[in-house]
Amino acid sequence: MLLVSAPIVGSEEKAVLAEVIDSGWLTMGDRVRAFEEAFATMHGAEDAVAVSSCTAALHLILQALGLGRGDEVLVPSLTFVATANAVCYVGATPVFVDIESMDVPLMSLTEAEARCTSRTKAVILVHFAGYLPDREAWRAFARRRGLLLIEDAAHAPGLKEAGTFGDAAAFSFYGNKNMTTAEGGAVLARDRTVRETIRRARAHGMTTTTHQRLDSRTPQYDVTMLGFNYRMDELRAAIGLVQLKQLQSWNGIRLALTSSYRRLIAQDCPSVQVPFSGYHLSTYHIMPVLLPAFVNRQNAIDYLRAAGVQTTIHYPPVHLLSLYRQLYPNLHLPRTEIFAERELTLPLHPRISTSMVEAIAARLAEVVREEANRGVAA
């Protein structure tokens, strides 16, 4: 089975894991700090804070920026549910915004403007599929409205522009991302005070870490805020340091594979739309395509699976998930809903080759032709 995504881990990751185990120090030590520094350097940032997941990163950012009950936060519905959940964690209200278009399935600036109220305090931009929106346009919007600007950059590690939009950015290192620590995330924040608040909040609000107390004359500590257990451990940080060294190369492979997909799909099944036809900075995290309306998506999924090709969907709209449908029973986001009904994600990761992409595109063309012929016969 050609998988939609696959982590690349090998002998070097095994070796550094063994080193951590042999060291006897498994959490919040020198490797975590080294990983933070390396991640910040890659993105041209002053510093970074490593945490247990991107969800934790979003939660900590929202809390550190002072968002809470009574506040509204603009979010896209075309995202993983964690984006909206994190808003709820701090007691704020997610306000779902439609996408720009079928070609640019990023949050619509026009729709965001229309959804603003006196309670709107922040906007979370999601870099869907690794593609970045217009930074200057969103900065101007945030300044004009007096909003905090936050990036859900789960799909965009390795781009220096990611993390530079506004107040803070959250990154993911989950197993299906462009680089992985199995579970894990990181925060980039412009303001040092915000970073240090997040750094303390990730470990129960404690004033010192276990490692710091080891090197200190006193084992005492204080707790100065309500914090969480959102730490990254040494094992994950060690893997992350290895993965970071390959990230730019892997992102380059993703670009080349995406270019091949675009060329082959345009050639062999032009009725299939590939979003982001114009220029966008990207890490090419996933390969989304839009099936033509005459194709039954489940038939396409089944056909490709029988041919040994896994596919998936990015994403079921958050506002249509049972939890949020109960909270927003009358919400209708037409472009998001149409996109989500037709979207199919094809395999894209550095373990596949150009010849595999050719085979996948050929199978996609076959099922599109079959569906077209079935429609004509009907």
Residues recognised as catalytic: 177
With 0-12 / 13-18 / 19 or more C-beta atoms within 10 angstroms meaning exposed / middle / buried, residue 118 is exposed
Q: Which of 71, 36, 90, 63 is nearest to 201 (CA)?
A: 63
Where do the H-state alpha helices sit in 269-351? 297-306, 322-327, 334-342
Collect all residues with Cβ–Cβ distance below 8 Å to 329 and sequence separation of at least 6: none
What is the rounded CA–CA span in Å between residue 121 and residue 68? 10
In the chain, what's the furthest Cα-to-Cα distance? 82
**Is 43:187 a contact under the CB 8 Å cutoff?**
no
Question: Helices (H) and strands (E) in the chain — how many of each?
Answer: 13, 9
Phi, psi of 312 (to 5 degrees): -150, -170
- Name the DSSP class of 182: B
What is the rounded CA–CA span in Å between residue 18 and residue 238? 10
**Is 151:127 a contact under the CB 8 Å cutoff?**
yes
